[in-house]
Amino acid sequence: MSLVFNAAEIFAMAEQIERNGAQFYRTAAGQIEDAAAKQLLLEFAAMEDDHLKTFAAMKAGLSKDEHAGTTFDPEGEAGLYLAALANTKVFFDKAVDATGLEGIFTTALAAEKDSILFYLGMKDLVPESLGRGKIEAIIREEMRHIRILGEKLAAL
């Protein structure tokens, strides 16, 4: 049996991943002493919050077909499954090396790359008629975040 998802389900996972990312940065900020570094991490948490809003707006703009259920699920178990995927694949409870920004950014960069790989894999499970093209927007946004993190890491 193959799994098929719609764009709305992928956006729901993206929203959870962004919540996890924001929590990661806030946790890291709470563990680091340097005030400037703490502020920078809080700015990254705010970026994740902005991504969450962006993805929620994108999900709200999906067509009826892109919200269409792909399986019979009267108990709502698909949502629980998708939340579990989001909570275990990207920005899950990672150990934070709070000795400096380099370790934090390296961990964050790896999580962002993992998110892109995750979305690329999920994109193949979304038929075009259920919004496959919309998943590209999530990937582009995550790639932008990798670029910003990479620049900050290179500047250290």
> At 1, is the pLDDT very low, low, confident or very high (cuts 50, 70, 90)?
very low
Name the CA radius of gyration of the chain, rounded.
Answer: 16
**Model pTM?**
0.74
Q: What DSSP string runs through 82-119? A: HHHHHHHHSS-SPPP-TT-HHHHHHHHHHHHHHHHHHH
Is 1.20.1260.10 the CATH classification of the domain at 7-155? yes
- Euclidean distance between CA atoms 138 and 23, whole angstroms: 19
pLDDT at residue number 39 = 92
Span 52-84, pLDDT tens digits: 998 888 888 878 776 665 555 556 565 565 656
